[in-house]
Structure 1
């Protein structure tokens, strides 16, 4: 399993500049890059009934923070302390730069989500966006998420939907096997030596793994686009079939 983790880390260190440029491609001159929080009021899977009230004053950690967008966005909502963890030093460089752009207080540390360099019972809120599908040992990662949350702490876990990942948009058929968790290797670009290694767990497997780790899953959403608000297929150049299957799945789970 370590080799899969190391392969993904090498890929992200190599790919980070290009990926973050894609993320920021629509940023106009003089504007700050986007930094959405998973607890924004218009984000699926957020807190209920009032995300802003719940985030203000909370201690928050982003697991697999990448360029730090969720960390910075949550700091802007008023979280008391914010920590982002990622295994890629290059991704963390972008995260610190984004933090400085916004002038918020957030700490970014290098580490593995299956062995977090963080104390027990340290956070009220945690989230992970499109990261745990790269983790070979899902059970250990979820156990670590549970360990660092206080009793009653909320974990928002979002992943690419495994059905979406298996779909061939051109033929409207399943190219992959929905029931095959992987590993699946993806060549990001011919110019990179490393490949992206993914694990496409079923929705049932993800939900059960959260429960086995000690979480109470009290909300799950499958949605076509993110953000969900104001999405209009008529304004998109995506193939029609991609509007007929969920693009991602998001769990809201409480540590017990």
Structure 2
């Protein structure tokens, strides 16, 4: 298995690249490939919800459409992505709040949220243990978290299908870069063991992995 190749830790900044990623994320949503139903099935509930690294916002907005939380907040490092997320939330008719911030030191008070979600940004976190600890900090007791991402050691068929469905074509190098930066279950399990999310469950599917649990 290939060694992990670290990717950007500042998010997608270029406006043209952001527009292409928005198109890609919209396609994933329209085809039902963004994992929303499985994230909800992990035990997420309403209340105040935080999305880490929402990008253009589709995953959190789709979850909010189904769970109708009291509030939806996004913490995103890229100003260009924030603009797309805010525009998309307006199109959904959801009063979401998106703030610029680094997930390793989030600009929120302790015990501010009932749910924390993240899809597809774990491989970009510079120090995942710090982010796991931040998730624990901002969650209220009994709050749920669900973090999903690609898995580096997927089989060749999954790699081929992922590459073939990554459209527009210009997004494909980014997909390969993200896959090479993704973690394995063993790596994630070790990181969780050294974090405040020690009771997390790690599961896998065809393309990726899911970290879920509850703050006791």
- Answer yes or no: same fold by TM over 0.5: yes
Task: Indicate the residue corresponding to 1:140 in structure 2.
Answer: 130
Is 1:248–2:208 an aligned residue pair?
A: yes
Alignment partners' CA distance in 2, 1:206 and 1:170:
20
Q: Deviations over 1:41-85 (max 9, x none)?
A: x3257334xx5xx32xx1110011111112212332210111011
SS in 2 for 1:74: helix
Consecutive unaligned residues in structure 1, runs of 5 or more: 28-32, 173-185, 190-194, 225-246
1:116 to 106, 109, 133: 106
Question: What pairs up with 1:56-95 in 2 under 5 angstroms?
Answer: 58-76=47-65, 77-95=67-85
The 3 A distance-change label for structure 1 pair 47 and 107 is same
Cα RMSD (Å): 3.3
Task: Indicate the residue corresponding to 1:202 in structure 2.
Answer: 184
Question: What pairs up with 1:10-29 in 2 under 5 angstroms?
Answer: 10=13, 13-25=15-27
Larger Rg, first or second structure (1 or 2) = 1
Consecutive unaligned residues in structure 2, runs of 5 or more: 1-6, 161-171
Alignment partners' CA distance in 1, 2:191 and 2:57:
26
2:25–2:56 contact (8 Å) kept in structure 1: no
Task: Indicate the residue corresponding to 2:142 in structure 1.
Answer: 152
The 3 A distance-change label for structure 1 pair 131 and 21 is same
Alignment partners' CA distance in 2, 1:118 and 1:171:
37
Alignment partners' CA distance in 1, 2:26 and 2:146:
24
Task: Indicate the residue corresponding to 1:5 in structure 2.
Answer: 9
2:53–2:74 contact (8 Å) kept in structure 1: yes
Task: Indicate the residue corresponding to 1:98 in structure 2.
Answer: 88
More helix by share: 2
Alignment partners' CA distance in 2, 1:119 and 1:94:
26
TM-score normalized with structure 1 length: 0.65
The 3 A distance-change label for structure 1 pair 141 and 170 is closer
Q: Deviations over 1:10-42 (max 9, x none)?
A: 35x541101112233489xxxxx789986x5x3
The 3 A distance-change label for structure 1 pair 211 and 150 is farther
Task: Indicate the residue corresponding to 1:46 in structure 2.
Answer: 41
